[in-house]
């Protein structure tokens, strides 16, 4: 299996509970367009969206310390602080083949000595911003994630791999571009995966939505010749039917337990998932 992001946020009976869609202020295209920056540098992004919150930050992690970073707000009662990290900007095309620029500011918890606060169920947070370049050279905000948006993750980090997301960018609706990717976790010898869809709309907030179970393997607990062993995976296809949100077809293959885990059966079937724009979830 491909490299997994390990997360203990979900149980096998509730794979799609994270990330969750939450109630947000009404999206305003005009309000977004008021934000215009000379460039997408760390300096400009932080001054625009986090002014008045910043102070010098320290991260005792070789990889993370190389990323542009700064502390946000004050330390909590455990003397942990929030450190904002800027990932490399991703350029992509919208459905009109116009260039857009995706910025991610990841926010992690850091201890008093600079150590990343990390546990299996600990997750970071992130703010996502999409910009377009104007004829005058400035960058205008097109959309962003809501301030209370939640993303899956673990070990103190957010579960959004921008390199993986960039490789999988594709139309997910008539006027919607996004990315399909997997997240997962391992616990007590069992690995479970789920599909997520990152939506990059230009008339709504950016968000990531759980789609469906993507596969599982309990080989860490049982040998392959055990009657209790199972392993299955899946393939996800986007069905372009011209709708506002394209259906997603997930095809399962392998040995899969039933929902009540009473039986394990060989499977080879497909299931369609449709996005409910009112509930903001795939069903």
pTM for this model (two decimals): 0.88
Nearest C-alpha neighbor of 108 from the set 54, 155, 44, 66: 155
Residues 103, 32: Cα–Cα separation, whole Å: 15
Each domain of the chain, given as residue ranges in start order, spans 32-282
- Give CA–CA dist 67/73, Å, rounded: 19
DSSP 116: B
pLDDT for res 5: 38
> With contact defined as beta carbons under 8 Å apart, do 204 and 146 qualify?
no
Contact 77, 116 (CB under 8 A): no
Cα–Cα distance for residue pair 168/158, rounded to 1 Å: 18
pLDDT at 25: 76
Count Cα neighbours of 184 within 13 Å in the Cβ-side half-sphere: 20
Hey, what long-range contacts does 29-33 have (CB within 8 A, 24 or more apart)?
A: 29/202, 29/203, 32/140, 32/141, 32/142, 32/143, 32/144, 33/140, 33/141, 33/142
Residues 234 and 214: their CA atoms lie apart, in Å, by 5
pLDDT at 69: 96
Mean pLDDT by 10 residues, the chain (283 residues): 36 40 76 98 98 92 93 90 96 96 95 83 87 98 93 83 94 97 90 97 97 97 97 98 98 96 96 97 97
Going by C-alpha positions, the residue among 36, 19, 109, 30 that lies closest to residue 69 is: 109
CA-wise closest residue to 18 among 149, 144, 118, 126: 149
Residues 193/214, Cβ–Cβ less than 8 Å: yes
**Which pLDDT score is estimated for 210?**
96
């Amino acid at each position: 299996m491909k490299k997994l992001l390990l997360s203990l946020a979900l149980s096998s009976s509730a794979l799609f509970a994270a990330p969750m869609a939450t109630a947000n202020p009404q999206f305003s295209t005009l309000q977004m367009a008021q934000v215009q920056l000379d460039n997408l540098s760390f300096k400009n992004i932080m001054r625009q969206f986090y002014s008045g919150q910043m102070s010098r930050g320290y991260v005792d992690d070789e990889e993370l310390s190389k990323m542009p970073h700064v502390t946000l707000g004050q330390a909590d009662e455990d003397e942990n602080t929030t450190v904002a990290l800027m990932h490399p900007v991703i350029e992509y095309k919208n459905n009109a083949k116009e260039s857009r620029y995706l910025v991610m500011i990841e926010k992690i918890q850091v201890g008093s000595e600079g150590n990343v606060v990390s546990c299996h169920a600990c997750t970071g947070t992130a703010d996502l911003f999409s910009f377009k370049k104007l004829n005058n050279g400035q960058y205008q905000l097109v959309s962003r994630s809501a301030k209370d948006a939640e993303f899956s993750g673990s070990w103190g980090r957010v579960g959004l791999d921008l390199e993986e997301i960039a490789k999988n960018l594709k139309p997910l609706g008539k006027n919607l571009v996004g990315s399909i990717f997997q997240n997962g976790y391992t616990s007590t010898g069992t690995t479970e995966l789920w599909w997520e869809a990152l939506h990059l709309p230009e008339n709504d907030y950016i968000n990531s939505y759980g789609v469906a179970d993507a596969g599982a393997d309990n080989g860490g607990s049982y040998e392959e010749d055990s009657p209790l062993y199972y392993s299955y995976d899946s393939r996800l296809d986007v069905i372009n039917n011209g709708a506002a949100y394209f259906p997603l077809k997930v095809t399962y293959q392998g040995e899969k337990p039933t929902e009540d885990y009473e039986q394990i059966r060989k499977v080879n079937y497909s299931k369609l998932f449709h996005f409910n724009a009112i509930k903001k979830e795939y069903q």
